């Protein structure tokens, strides 16, 4: 039974058909590159899996059981974590505050439950160390470099035992050295049996880490094949429509 199964997922925004009946399967420890031109429906698909909005048609199943996500928190409760394209960080808060946003650690103080700063700083420092990032838990996000901000967004997905990590263009805005680090991290997630969906425009990144590539075009899936049986040329053809299906 697949970790995640999408069955005939469609999404309409008024008259616009963003997704037309997409099927997809995802197994634990699998890295899937999701590719397509702007407006092909990649982000819409990821947002549906992440619970940002429900599909107009179709079914999401995890381990065979049908799931209906109404809010991002619902998907997170099932072990689905997302690194958003804009990273979804609050610039005015510290790195640790961003990592724990929405699920702060608390401790009892008499009848009150107060924020457990020492525990959050310690855990955030551990996570940054695991990610080999020089980010410090007490630094404000607005003072950070692109790579450090990326590390904060990724550290957030490591807070609980995630089963699926969705990454929307994680390598778009960072330096070459940092790209290598993010790709390394994806490999480490895979080793731990976590499934990763990597949305990217950068062909070399996708081919470097993915087991399988899924290509979307105009809201439909036009290809879904192991990376070993395709090539950057074929994927480019599929993205632009020069090749119909594969």
Partner 1 sequence: MLTQSTATPTVASHAAVEEVTHLRERSLRQKMLTSQSFWVTVAVLAIIIVMTLYQPAAFASADNFFNITRNFAFIGIMALGMTAVILTGGIDLSVGSIMGLVGVVCGLLLQAGHHWALAIGAALLAGAAAGAANGVLIAYVGLPSFVVTLGMLSIARSLAIVLSQNKIIYQLGPYGDAFDAIGGGDMLGVANPVWLLVVMALVFGYVFNFTAWGRYLFAIGGNENASRLTGVPVKRIKLEAYVVSGVTAAIASVMIVGWQGSAINALGTGYELRVIASTVIGGASLIGGEGGAFGAVMGAALIEVIRNSLLMAGVDSNWQGTFVGLFIVLAVLLQRIRQRPAE
Q: Tell me the closest approach of the beta carbon of residue 140 to partner 1, in angstroms.
A: 7
Q: Tell me the closest approach of the beta carbon of residue 182 to partner 1, in angstroms.
A: 16
CA torsion 160→166→168→174, rounded to 10°? 50
Q: What is the CA 6 to chain-centroid distance, rounded?
A: 16
Nearer to partner 1 by Cβ, of 149 and 212: the residue is: 149
Nearer to partner 1 by Cβ, of 76 and 217: the residue is: 76
Residue 29: Cβ within 10 Å count:
14
Distances (CA, A) of 150 to 58, 89, 120: 33, 10, 19
Nearer to partner 1 by Cβ, of 156 and 212: the residue is: 156
Nearer to partner 1 by Cβ, of 52 and 56: the residue is: 52
Nearer to partner 1 by Cβ, of 93 and 208: the residue is: 93
Nearer to partner 1 by Cβ, of 86 and 191: the residue is: 86
Q: Tell me the closest approach of the beta carbon of residue 175 to partner 1, in angstroms.
A: 8
Residues that bind partner 1 (CB under 8 A): 52, 71-73, 76, 82, 84, 86-93, 97, 101-104, 106, 112-115, 134, 136, 138-140, 142-145, 156
What is the chain written as a DSSP string? --SEEEEEEEEEETTEEEEEEEEEEE-TT-EEEEEE-TTSSHHHHHHHHTTSS--SEEEEEETTEEE--SSHHHHHHTTEEEE-TTTT--TTSBHHHHHTTTS--EEEETTEEEE-HHHHHHHHHHHHHHTT----TTSBGGG--HHHHHHHHHHHHTSS--SEEEEESTTTTS-HHHHHHHHHHHHHHHHTT-EEEEE-S-HHHHHHH-SEEEEEETTEEEEEEEGGG--HHHHHHHHHTSS---
Nearer to partner 1 by Cβ, of 71 and 244: the residue is: 71
């Amino acid at each position: 039974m697949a970790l995640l199964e999408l069955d005939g997922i469609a999404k309409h925004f008024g008259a616009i058909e963003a997704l037309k009946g997409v099927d997809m399967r995802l197994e634990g420890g699998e890295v899937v590159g999701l590719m397509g031109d702007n407006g092909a429906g990649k982000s819409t698909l990821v947002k549906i899996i992440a619970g940002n909005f429900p599909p107009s048609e179709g079914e999401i199943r995890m381990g065979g059981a049908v799931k209906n996500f109404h809010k991002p928190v619902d998907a997170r409760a099932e072990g689905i974590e997302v690194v958003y394209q804009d990273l979804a960080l609050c610039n005015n808060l510290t790195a640790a505050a961003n990592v724990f946003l929405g699920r702060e650690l608390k401790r009892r103080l008499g009848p009150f439950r107060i924020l457990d700063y020492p525990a959050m700083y310690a855990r955030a420092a551990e996570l940054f160390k695991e990610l080999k990032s020089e980010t410090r838990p007490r630094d404000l996000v607005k003072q950070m470099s692109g790579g450090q901000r990326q590390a904060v967004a990724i550290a957030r997905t490591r807070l609980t035992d995630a089963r699926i990590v969705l990454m929307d263009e994680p390598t778009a805005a960072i330096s070459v050295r940092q790209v290598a680090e993010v790709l390394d991290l994806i490999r480490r997630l895979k080793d731990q049996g976590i499934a990763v969906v990597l949305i990217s425009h950068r062909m070399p990144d996708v081919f470097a880490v993915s087991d399988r590539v899924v290509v979307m075009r105009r809201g439909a899936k036009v290809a879904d094949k192991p990376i070993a049986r395709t090539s950057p040329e074929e994927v480019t053809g599929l993205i632009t429509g020069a090749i119909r299906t594969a």
